[in-house]
Every structure is written in structure tokens, then in C-alpha cells.
A = this chain, B = another copy of it.
Amino acid sequence: MKATGIVVEYNPFHNGHLHHAREAKRKSGADVVIAVMSGQFLQRGEPAFVDKWARTEMALAGGIDLVIELPYVYATAQATDFAKGAMALLDAIGCESFCFGSEQGEIEPFLRSYQLLKEHSVEYEEKIREAVQTGISYPQALNRAYASLRGKNEEFADLTQPNNILGFHYIEAAKKSGSTMKPLTIQRIGANYHDPVTQGVSIASATGIRKVLFEGGSVDGLSPYMPPSSLKALQQCRTFGSWQQFYPLLRYAILREQPENIRQFAEVTEGIENLLYEAAKKAPTFDDFIGLIKSKRYTRTRLQRMLTHIYTGFTWEQLRSYQAPAYLRLLGMSGAGRNYLRLQKKNIGLPVISRAADLTDTMGMLDVHASTMYLLGLGTEQLKKEYTTPPFYFGDRDSK
């Protein structure tokens, strides 16, 4: 059996994701599609809109055969480490290829860009360093350095587009780790990343969908943009995760510390601790808070990642203690996914963990901890859900 891998958040799962899963399977010729999915906190440094179990259910109903959790430490990291963790898991589970959605839509420009930067790595690093010193954000500095190497040559990938950037990092991570997985990409169709929901278009961005629901819109109204299974899963949610909802706890966490101790949390850079503390004292809402701390130097995403780590109590010391993923946390499977696990057992390079109780290493225990923090922020009383929820088995789809 052949598998292709994709890296997802499904926040929440919509028609664009459905398209991605189908195209990945078609393009790779694989028998199963394996998704490495972020858990309760996401790469943009946000609590997930709905919990990972609901998102797993949507994924399986939408054509995914195996859902593997991307550990917190990678899921909340900047693109390089995010990609490193995701690629390591897809490689370990035996994928022959991986397939990402991109604005570019073709794989060759990415491969050329990778080659270009590899061959000019010293120059590239130097240009990044120079750009950072002008006070711009790190992603902007990468852009500037890349642009000056690429010039106007359109044979290279356009790395100013968010999905192109992630795709590039997947390729880089896979190549650097020596993985033999074949990189594939499909053209993203329909909405751009942050586009609002538009009438008459069957693909909306996840951001647009969340916005509708945060603003009190009905789940039913989203039926043009999501498969029925996603609508059903959303209908069962009483609250949706957001920084707005989590802010009272985050604010307390910040104000409880002596400012200098805030520095102990992962991604918090020296000098910002007093700003965070004073802003938390002033701001009654998360939007006010982020408005007070945003600057040219720190992107919102960067700040939100710090805040995620402050919220969960995750420190630099913990961050630095991690090496490589040591397990595959199975969140759900289709019938075909189950067969794959059985048949490929010998080719799977890491233990497949089905129960939270079996996560005994620090990385896995951190996933469980982050999950508890998430559930607490949501205001649910099911704080033991991590231990009481077995992997979701979705046999129906294959029983035709």
C-alpha cells in the first residue's frame, strides 16, 4: 500500500481541504492519505477553533485515512521547525510522497528555489542578517534576502505567498533530513488565506468561516463552503476557541509573574517582558492587548506564539530539551488507514500511540498538558478528555 502525506490544521475543515485531500491522492497515486495535524494550538500561535477530536472527525469524513497529531512543540513553532516535525512524522509513517497546496501550483519552481538557496547559503544568511538589523521582522528579512538572490527570475517560487513559504520549508526539511519522500504540490483554488466568505463561491478560507461563527452567524449558513460532516461537527460545539475567549487566563498568567520571569517562556525575547506586562494591565480585551504590543519588529504571529507558550507555561528550557519526534500519536483512522497501519507495520519508524496514557516521554506529556490548558480555556469541564477519547475510527466511508 502506498501513502501520501499532507500537513494540515483544519481549523475547521472546509471544501478547500476536501479538494486538497482528493488531489493529493490523485496526483500521488497513493492508496491512503495521511494527515499530520496540529493539536489544540496552531502554527499562527492560536488556540484551535474546535478541538483536535472534532477536527479529526471532520478530516476522516473528508477523505483522510490517518490523522497523526503534530506535537505541540512543532505545531506552535515557526515555519522551519513546524516543517521539520511534520516531515519527520510523515517520513516515519512511511509516506512515499507529500503534497502541499500552494499559490504556485507547480513543484519545479520550489525545487529550483531550494537549489538556489542551498548554493548561495552563506550569501543568503548574510543578507538575512543585514535585513534583520534594519529592524524589520524575521519573515520580512527572509523575503528581502530571497528577493535579492532571485531577482526577477520567475523560474523560482514566489516566496512572499504564505502557502508557498510553508511548502518551501517542507521541501527544505525533507531534503535536509535525507528523506526520500517525493514532493508534490497542487494549486490552491478559490479563496486566499484570509479572504472573507463570499456568496456563490464554494471555497472560503478557514479564517472567513471562523469569522462568520465568531460574529454569531449560523453554522447552517456555511453549507456552501463545507462538507455536511464538518457542519455537523461544528453544530455540536458549544464554544469556539479563540484568544478572545482565552484572554482572561492569559492576562492573569502574565500579570501573575514578575515581568523578568516572563522571559522564561519559550519565544519570549528579552526586552518585551515589560511591554507584555504593562499591556496586560491596561487591556481589557485581547484585541486591545495585541494592539498595544504589535510593532514593526514583531509580527502578530510571532507575538501569538509567545503568548501561546506563556499561556501553557512552556519554557525556553523545555523547548531546548527536545530533539526529534519519538512517537506517532494516532488521532483517527479510516478502514483503509487501519489496513495501512497493519500492513506497513514493519516500515513504520516510530511507535504508534493510540492512548494518551502511553505518552510517557516529555514531548508527549506536553501534548496532553497543552490539551488540558486548551480545554480549560474553552471553559469545558471535560478536562480528562485526552484520556477518555480513543482514536476515532471511521469505517463507514470504505464500506461501500
Please give the residue numbers on chain A whose beta carbons come within 8 Å of chain B beta carbons, in ascending order.
248-249, 251-253, 255-258, 281-282, 284, 312-313, 369, 372-373, 376, 381, 383-384
Shortest A39–chain B CB gap in Å is: 17
Instruction: Report yes or no: A383 in contact with B256, Cβ–Cβ below 8 A.
Output: no
Cα A313 to Cα B256 in complex, Å, equals 6
* Known A-B contacts A281-B372, A281-B383, A281-B384; A256 and B255 likewise in contact (beta carbons under 8 Å): no
Give the residue of B252, B369, B384 whose beta carbon is less than 8 angstroms from that of A252: B252
Cα A381 to Cα B373 in complex, Å, equals 24
Chain B residue numbers with a CB within 8 Å of A284 are: 381
Cα A112 to Cα B274 in complex, Å, equals 54
Considering the complex, give the chain B residue whose CB is closest to the CB of A250.
B252
The main secondary structure of chain A at its interface with chain B is helix
Shortest A72–chain B CB gap in Å is: 14
Instruction: Report yes or no: B249 in contact with A252, Cβ–Cβ below 8 A.
Output: yes
Chain B residue numbers with a CB within 8 Å of A372 are: 255, 281
Instruction: Report yes or no: A252 in contact with B381, Cβ–Cβ below 8 A.
Output: no
Cα A15 to Cα B134 in complex, Å, equals 67
Instruction: Report yes or no: A255 in contact with B376, Cβ–Cβ below 8 A.
Output: yes
Give 19 A-B contacts (CB < 8 Å), ordered by A residue: A248-B248, A249-B249, A249-B252, A251-B376, A252-B373, A253-B253, A253-B256, A255-B373, A255-B383, A256-B312, A256-B313, A256-B373, A258-B313, A258-B369, A281-B372, A281-B383, A281-B384, A282-B383, A284-B381
Shortest A105–chain B CB gap in Å is: 43
Chain B residue numbers with a CB within 8 Å of A248 are: 248-249
Cα A376 to Cα B369 in complex, Å, equals 25
Chain B residue numbers with a CB within 8 Å of A313 are: 256-258
Cα A383 to Cα B248 in complex, Å, equals 13
Shortest A282–chain B CB gap in Å is: 8
Cα A383 to Cα B372 in complex, Å, equals 28
Closest 10 CB pairs of A and B: A256-B313, A249-B252, A281-B383, A284-B381, A252-B376, A255-B372, A255-B376, A257-B313, A256-B373, A281-B384
Considering the complex, give the chain B residue whose CB is closest to the CB of A280.
B383
Cα A249 to Cα B281 in complex, Å, equals 16
Cα A335 to Cα B252 in complex, Å, equals 39
Cα A191 to Cα B281 in complex, Å, equals 41
Beyond the given pairs A249-B252, A255-B373, A256-B373, 4 more chain A to chain B contacts, judged by CB atoms under 8 angstroms and listed by A's residue number, are A249-B249, A252-B376, A257-B313, A281-B384
